[in-house]
Structures are given as structure tokens and as C-alpha cells.
Structure 1
């Protein structure tokens, strides 16, 4: 698989994640509510599938190309052209997408005893 993300910074990856997970109307409010209540990994995966949708993406002049799909919770990004979702490695997939959602949106896992101790 080609390494399309070698030019991406951590800030670029975060921006790609936000673009992939905030595309539908009202998503900010839903993420705020999810952060208040917490979610298990399974619940968060389902929420991510809903917010990411079946398949989507965006690009433009002087803009990073981002592509995403709910199946597998995959997100691709590149400054060098639109990602090829068959050959290119995603920057986030599966558990990595769930971890990023917890970090970005502050969603705790109520089943994680360590989280409650903090």
C-alpha cells in the first residue's frame, strides 16, 4: 500500500478526522451529548458509522483531500491528490478511529474503571 500520508502532520490528521465526523447537520451537538454520557467502544463505533456515513469525501485547490467510509471506520487524507481507497492505507481505521474520537471529543468509556478514577 502506498504511503499517501507521509506529508501529513498530526494537525492535518486531526483536521481530516473532524471533516469526516462532522459532515452532517447537528453533529456538534450530538458529539457534545455523547461526551456528557460516555459510550462503550461498540456504541462509539455505531455513532461513528452514522456520522461518517456510507462514503464521502472532499477536496479542492490548496486543500487536503479527505475520503471516508463508515464500513471499517476508515478515513484517508492526502495533500498529493485524492486517495485511492482500494490501494492507499487509511490514516484511521477501526480501533484507531475510536481512539481518535475519544481524544478529540472527550468521550469516556463508562466500562473503563480507570477512566472513572481520574
Structure 2
């Protein structure tokens, strides 16, 4: 099993998605119209940054520790108390945008690629 910060096991893809959804809780409902019509990368980055805000996070018993920051579109998470000063974010910049497109099924109106069925 791959180890990460301080010997903690790496998160599974399901756990990484859980961290992402905690950080962006309410994003889909708040931006339903924009998601339906699609957004360019700069538009999506602006909405994500606005949603994440300057700095925030959440944790609790039996919950993932999640920290997020709008600047740089950074999201940290783990089963342990996350230290954003010395740990690398799970999602940052373009990876955050790509994950949002995948998770929330957000199209890019500038992409001429047809959606596969």
C-alpha cells in the first residue's frame, strides 16, 4: 500500500472523490444553470474559486479532514488531521477543474468533441 505524509496510507479514488465533494458541497445546486450550458476553463475556475473562498475546511469524528483554498483551486484531505502547510494538495489548479468536469459532468462549449454515448 502506498504511503503518503507521515506514513498514512494513500486515499483510494473513492475517498479522493469524497474529499472533493465535501470541499465543493452545494456547488452543483448553486451553479446548476452554468453546469447545464457548459463553461470554459476560466469560467469554471472562477466559479470554483468563488465557491471555495479564501480558506476553509471541515472535519469531525468518522469524517475525512478536508481543507480548501480558492487561490490555486487547492483541496487537501485525509483520514488524519491535514496540515496544509507541509502536505501536498490532492487537487490543485487544472486537476481541480478536470475533476469538477468529470464529477459534475460539465461540458466545455469551446470543445468541438462530440459526447460519447
Common fold by TM > 0.5:
yes
- Measured in 1, the distance between the counterparts of 2:4 and 2:33 equals 36
SS at match of 2:17: helix
The unaligned stretches of length 5 or more in structure 2 are none
The corresponding residue for 2:17 is: 14
Higher relative contact order (CA 8 A, sep 6+): 1
1:32 aligns with 2:32: yes
Q: Show structure 1 runs of 4+ deviating over 2 A.
A: 2-7, 27-32
Superposition map of 1:25-64 within 5 A: 27-64=27-64
Q: Tell me how large the CA RMSD over aligned residues is.
A: 1.7
1:3 aligns with 2:4: yes
SS at match of 1:77: strand
Q: How many residues align?
A: 111
State TM-score, norm by structure 2: 0.86
Q: Is the contact between residue 4 and residue 10 of structure 2 (CA under 8 Å) also seen in structure 1? A: no
Per-residue displacement from partner, 1:44-86 (whole Å, max 9, x unpaired)?
A: 0000001111111111112110100001000000112x21112
Q: Is the contact between residue 66 and residue 76 of structure 1 (CA under 8 Å) also seen in structure 2? A: yes
State TM-score, norm by structure 1: 0.85
The unaligned stretches of length 5 or more in structure 1 are none
Alpha-carbon distance, 1:35 to partner: 1.9
